[in-house]
């Protein structure tokens, strides 16, 4: 990456002269050396299944026009933030230290609850066999520009090592989050048509804030659609410490999941963030009746619209269609495609049969992240809910960017669904 050149003395003098000509109401908001201090950086990060484009601004006075650095994306004209909703940074930019890949933390499990987890509860999780490290977060659902999303409120400094290498190494990305921007997953950004660099409403009944979409970036955790600072989480009414990310690299993920739920002693949910080694007999897969019911249920939804976050009965996203159709076969299925990827052994596409699940990723640098799922119906055809603006339909199976094929084990699927 080329070094950023600071403005020359002549440019600074011109900026100061222009500032003096501005009305006093505006000139008071412009620092002495700059008319506008704005950087627009585009980062290509091999994270979470796709390349990541991150739009990062270094100044929050959006009432002034941003100056685009040559070769970058043009800034979005998103308007000013409401003063009462101005971001409160968890960390000032100067406190965010550059991160190096050798310090990454392997995430195994994300445990969430509908109420704050006490220090004792977090300590019990930390003491489970094989647990190396834990990271409390604020977890819950919110709407991003009207689209339902699962979000995390985090401390940018301590949370960044838990993300994929390129994401963790991006100091500008984490500075952006610390300043109050939201980083949205590539899947949600693309499939929900969110404006990268634009300012959108984020929140729900607990509160609402205007947040700038500073990046499309995956955190490498199943089902996480957006990440912002803990201060932003409080602003929209997200309950603090309602989640804990657990690192246990050498533990059996399924056993750890059971132990974590037992340790909390109350209703909670735990999502796998690491693959499971599966050894099963052929008789432990779907029966012919289950496969027929599952496929017929999916067929009955053909022609209905794709809607991000929808799981039926009148609209679907890709994993919502899979979950809804399996329910009609009497099989419980996790909600998101990343966890559906864990519900059975992988088989070659050449051996796929009707009822198997097909998965895709869109970043050759990181095939571990899953971006799309569809239902195989035989003869090279699938039933899929593709993206916003499309609908549930039959389509030929594209082999490019295919992550693999999963033959569903209903017992494992049911275990992961709760």
pLDDT tens digits along 178-197: 999 999 988 888 888 899 99
What integer pLDDT is reported at residue 87 of this predicted model?
39
User: What is the greatest pairwise CA distance in the chain?
Assistant: 80
* 3-class secondary-structure state, position 360: strand
How many CB atoms within 10 Å of residue 299? 14
Contact 341, 403 (CB under 8 A): yes
pLDDT tens digits along 314-323: 999 999 999 9
Mean pLDDT of the 325-353 span: 93
pLDDT tens digits along 128-158: 999 999 999 999 999 999 999 999 999 999 9
Question: In which residue are the tokens 């779907």 written?
Answer: 286
Q: Which residue has the higher pLDDT, 122 or 8?
A: 122
CB environment 256-273: b (16+ within 10 A), e (fewer): bbebbbebbeeebbbbbb
CATH of domain 282-416: 3.90.1720.10
DSSP H helices, 22-153, are 24-27, 119-126
* Confidence at 98, pLDDT banded by 50, 70, 90: low
What integer pLDDT is reported at residue 362 of this predicted model?
76
Is there a cis peptide before residue 20, judged by omega within 30 degrees of 0? no
What integer pLDDT is reported at residue 367 of this predicted model?
60
Domain boundaries, the chain: 80-259, 282-416
The enclosing H or E element of 415 equals helix 410-416
């Amino acid at each position: 990456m080329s070094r950023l050149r600071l403005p020359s003395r002549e440019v600074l003098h011109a900026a100061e002269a222009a500032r003096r000509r501005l009305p006093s109401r505006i000139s008071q908001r412009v620092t002495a050396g700059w008319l506008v201090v704005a950087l627009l950086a585009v980062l290509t990060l091999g994270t979470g299944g796709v390349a990541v484009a991150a739009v990062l601004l270094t100044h929050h006075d959006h009432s002034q026009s941003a100056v685009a650095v040559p070769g970058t994306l043009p800034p979005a004209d998103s308007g000013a933030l409401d003063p009462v909703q101005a971001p409160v940074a968890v960390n000032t930019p100067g406190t965010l230290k550059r991160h190096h890949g050798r310090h990454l933390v392997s995430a195994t499990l994300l445990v969430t609850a509908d109420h704050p987890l006490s220090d004792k509860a977090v300590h019990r999780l930390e003491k489970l066999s094989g647990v190396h490290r834990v990271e409390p977060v604020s977890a819950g659902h919110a709407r991003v520009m009207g689209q339902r999303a699962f979000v995390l409120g985090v401390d940018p400094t301590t949370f960044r090592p838990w993300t994929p290498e390129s994401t963790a190494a991006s100091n500008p990305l984490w500075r952006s989050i610390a300043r109050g921007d939201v980083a949205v997953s590539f899947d949600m950004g693309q499939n929900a048509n969110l404006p990268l660099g634009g300012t959108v409403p984020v929140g729900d009944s607990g509160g609402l804030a205007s947040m700038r979409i500073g990046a499309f970036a995956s955190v490498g955790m199943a089902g996480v659609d957006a990440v912002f600072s803990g201060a932003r989480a409080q602003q929209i009414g997200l309950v603090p410490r309602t989640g804990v990310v657990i690192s246990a690299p050498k533990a059996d993920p399924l056993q750890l999941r059971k132990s974590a739920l037992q340790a909390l002693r109350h209703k909670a949910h735990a999502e796998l963030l690491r693959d499971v080694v599966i050894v099963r007999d052929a008789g432990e897969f779907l029966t012919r009746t289950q496969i027929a019911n599952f496929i017929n249920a999916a067929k009955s939804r053909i022609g209905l619209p794709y809607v991000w976050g929808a799981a039926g009965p009148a609209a679907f996203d890709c994993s919502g269609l899979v979950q809804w159709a399996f329910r009609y076969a009497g099989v419980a299925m996790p909600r998101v495609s990343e966890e559906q990827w864990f519900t059975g052994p992988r088989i070659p596409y050449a051996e796929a049969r009707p009822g198997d699940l097909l998965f895709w990723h869109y970043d050759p640098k990181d095939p571990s992240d899953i971006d799309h799922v569809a239902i195989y119906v035989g003869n090279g055809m699938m039933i899929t809910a593709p993206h916003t603006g499309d609908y549930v339909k039959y389509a030929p199976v594209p082999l490019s960017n295919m992550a693999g094929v999963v033959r569903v084990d209903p017992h494992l699927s049911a275990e992961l669904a709760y």
